[in-house]
Structures are given as C-alpha cells and as structure tokens.
Amino acid sequence: MDLLILFISACITIVVVHALLNMCTRRRNRLPPGPTPWPIVGNLPHLGKTPHHSLAALVTQYGPLIHLRLGFVDVVVAGSASVAAQCLKTHDVNFASRPPNSGAKHIGYNYQDMVFAPYGPRWRRLRKLCLVHLLSTKALNDFRHIRQEEVAILTRTLASAGESTVQLDKLLNLCISNALSRVMLGRRVFTNGGGAGGDPKADEFKEMATELQVLAGEFNIGDFIPALDWLDLQGITKKMKNLHDRLDAFLNVILQEHKTTAANGGASGHDVDFLCMLLSLRDEADGDEAKLSDVEIKALLLNLFVAGTDTSFNTVEWAIAELIRHPQILKQAQKEMDIIVGRDRLVNELDISQLTFLQAIVKETFRLHPATPLSLPRIATENCEVNGYNIPKGSTLLVHVWAIARDPKIWIDPLKFKPGRFLPGGEKFNVDVKGNDFDLIPFGAGRRICAGMSLGVRTVQLLTATLVQAFDWELTNGLDPKNLNMEEAYGLALRRVAPLMVHPRPRLAPNVYISG
C-alpha cells in the first residue's frame, strides 16, 4: 500500500513538474499558445481520429497560431490566412524544406522523391524536369487532346451503365490514371474492364494509392518519439514497407518495359513520353547532384501517379456529391452548359474560360473539400518570429488549409456550398487558387506549392464540366440527396467515408456518347 501511494505521488509530481516546466519554457521562448502537453507523448492524444477537425477546434480555442508538442517535436499550426501568409510568403525560404518522416523514408524511396526531398539542388532539378516537360503551359496544351479523349471514354462508359449502379470514384480514377499514363508512359496503363465495372488492375492501383494517402497522413509515434520507432507500436512502419514493395513492383514493370523498348530502338508512331525523356537523362551528369538514378525516376513516377490521380478524382467526386445535394445549383450549371456549349457535343477545355458558373463550382469545391486538409509538413531551418511568437529552429509547420477555408471571419456562411461567392458581386469574386490569395490555398503556396496545380485545376474543371453537362444524377436505392453521407475520411488527401454510388442519366443527344 505504501509503495502504491509512493508511486501515485511520484506520477503526480512528474506531471506537475512537467506542466510547470512547459509553462515556463513557453513564456520564456514566447511560443504560441496551445494545450498543455502530456508527459512524453505531448499533445498526440489531442489529435483524435480526425486530426484536421481536432486541430481546427484548437485553433478556435487558442488562436490562429498554436503550438503543440508531439512527443519531442515542436509543431506549429497556422490556422488563419494572415498567419499562413507570414509562414509561406514572409518566411517562405525558412519553411521550404521537409521534416524527417516515416512515410518519405519507407514509401518515398528514402527521400529520393520530389514531394519530400529536402530543399536544395536535387529538389530543384526534379521539380524543373516536371514543370518544363510535363506541367508547363505548353506541355498541358500539347496533351489537351489526351485528357479530352479519356474523358470521352469515361462518358461513353457511364452512358452505357443503364440501370447498373456506378461507383463513381473507380471510373474517375481509371480516367485520370490513363490520361496521365499516356503522357508519362506513352500508353494507357489500364483497360475499361468491359464496362462500368472498371479494371481490376486499376482498382488495385487505386487501393494502393488510397492506402498511401492514409498511411502518409498518419501521425506515427515513431516520428515524434524516436526511441520508440523500432517498436512500431501502431504497425504503421510494417504497412508502409509492405505497400512500398507492392508499389515498387508496379513501377519496376513500367521501368523495365521502357528500358527494353529503348534498347530496341524505341517505339514508333508516337512522341517521346516523359519517362523516355527521364531515361535519356539517367546517365547525364552536371555535377554530383544532377545525376538521375533509377530510384529517383521511380520516386518521381510515384509522386506523379499518386498526387496526380488521387487528389483529382476525390475533388471531382466531392463536387458531384455537392451538386446532387443542391439540385438547383446543378440545374443552373447545366443551363450555362446548354447556352455556351449546347447539347450536340461534349464540353472541352477551351470552353472552360466561358463557363464562369462552372469555375465557381470548382472553386467552392476546392474551398469546402480541399484535397489536402493539412498542408504537407514543412520544417523551420532557423528560428523565426510569426505573429509575434518565436518559432524554434527544427519546428514542424502545418498549414491548416481546411480550417482557413472555413474561417467565419473571412467567409460568409462558411459551411454552406455557395458557388455564387466566386461570381461577380460575390464576396470572393477575385480570389484564385494559385497560392496568391491565402484565403484559399488548396494547392499550398510559396516555393513548395504543388507542382501539379495547373494540371489538377484543368483536370478537375474538365471532368466536373463533362459530368454536369452529360448527365443527370440519381442516388442508388432512392436515397434522398439530403441524406447523402458527406462524412470525411482523414488522410493526406481528403476522401469520402462512403463512396458515391450513383445512376447517371444521359441528357445529351445520343450520338454525342457514341462519338465522344
């Protein structure tokens, strides 16, 4: 009994001393406010099952810049547009690199990819390769026909569904993956699978991409308490290694096929694709940092495939779900389509600039359902001051994109789906998503802004426009749209808990679905 009392007294003493030391440290270093961390684990218990919701609540409670202690790591969360601007504009260079994390280590080829590579010459070269050869305005225009052809195939598939139930995200993934693979690899990776059912290989890849987004979004205890990393208490490291092996096998097949084709003199009948270009640079050297290895190529392909597909089809799925829940908005968008495009052909990318209401719908979807609710983590390379508080060197920065886009101080009725806010006369008419307006930064901002932003916007706009123009939408089993489950599943990308199950009803001239 005496030992039990002594043990309890010791625990209480430790907790009190820890709390006092934390308060003193916070005051001395002028750290941002935040909840008192627990001993050892810090504020990890405060994150809950949906960290973006929990952190948004903490921002509301403590202010637009909060400090957390996750294990032994200082973490600051920017929860307002003004604070995000200070971090990603005023102190952009200081926050241009990434902190160490298990996802980049075990899935991203040990930081050899572009997304998690440290800020420096190698990252700049990988990003330049993508921006010049794959994501520049010229490249996007050159490959416009590919995106439109794949969207036409999707439209025919949906039109042939009849009374069958369609799981929309699977077909969106198939469409986007094939559009991207034709540019990157010179061919479609997946088939249509004989109709609305899709392709089992595509389903497998989609599952791997989704698993990557989930695992990469996990707060792994080993990242914050290094002494416990080897124990893998959550089983996350084991899952990451297993996933890496499966993804690596997928990418190895692609790489070896291209090497064989190149060795045989190259493929005839089509332009050189992105991977051929990368392979041609593999042995070129402009200093040690400029060498492009097979591992870097696979890591880059992984970035492009996952980031280029998962985030886009999730956003389109959210857009269609919102339009089903708001039939008057859908009708208004279809009326605009009928006037600008008509019903005798499919909408194309060149039409988008005239479809102002469609653009507003896409912006509102990016706002209410940002592809990445919490920005990818950045690290402070030096001490700096943000919002009057000290940010210690080595702190991890998370920009709360989801909370900023729902801030009632800058948005009217922030929880409502109101595309009209982006129309002339609306509250945010001049706001764009390109990283210039910190009220709306679904792709981030600053040096580490998403390299694929322009492709992502074009893809989401074209797909959303086509699905709006070509179909009326009904939910399965006569479900009332008001009862549609809009619950979010947390991960690196913001997914729906329940996939959208629908009946597409063609509304254009029948020949449009045949000719595409």
Residue ranges of the binding site: 450
Helix (H) or strand (E) holding 252, with range, is helix 236-263
Q: Cα dist. 47→101, 368, 490 in Å? A: 17, 21, 12
- Report d(CA 183, CA 209) in Å as an integer: 19
Q: Cα dist. 317→312, 342, 498 in Å? A: 9, 24, 11
What residues pair up with 192 in beta bridges, in sequence order? none
- Which residues are annotated as part of the binding site for heme? 450
3-state secondary structure of 258: helix
Closest CA to 74 of 27, 26, 139, 129: 26
- Report d(CA 108, CA 124) in Å as an integer: 17
Any idea what DSSP says for residue 421? G
CB atoms under 10 Å from CB of 210, counted, come to: 19
Closest CA to 488 of 309, 374, 318, 323: 318
Q: Which residues contact 253 (CB under 8 A, 6 or more apart)?
A: none
460 CB-contact burial (10 Å; exposed 0-12 / middle 13-18 / buried 19+): buried
- Report d(CA 443, CA 433) in Å as an integer: 7
Burial 219-241 (b: 16+ CB within 10 A, else e): ebbbbbbeebeeebeeebbebbe
Any idea what DSSP says for residue 38? B
- Report d(CA 180, CA 184) in Å as an integer: 6
- Report d(CA 276, CA 255) in Å as an integer: 10
Alpha-helix residue ranges (DSSP H) falling in 374-509: 401-404, 453-470
Q: Between vectors from CA 284 to CA 283 and to CA 286, what angle results, nearest 5°?
A: 140
16 CB-contact burial (10 Å; exposed 0-12 / middle 13-18 / buried 19+): exposed
**Cβ atoms 454, 140 nearer than 8 A:** yes
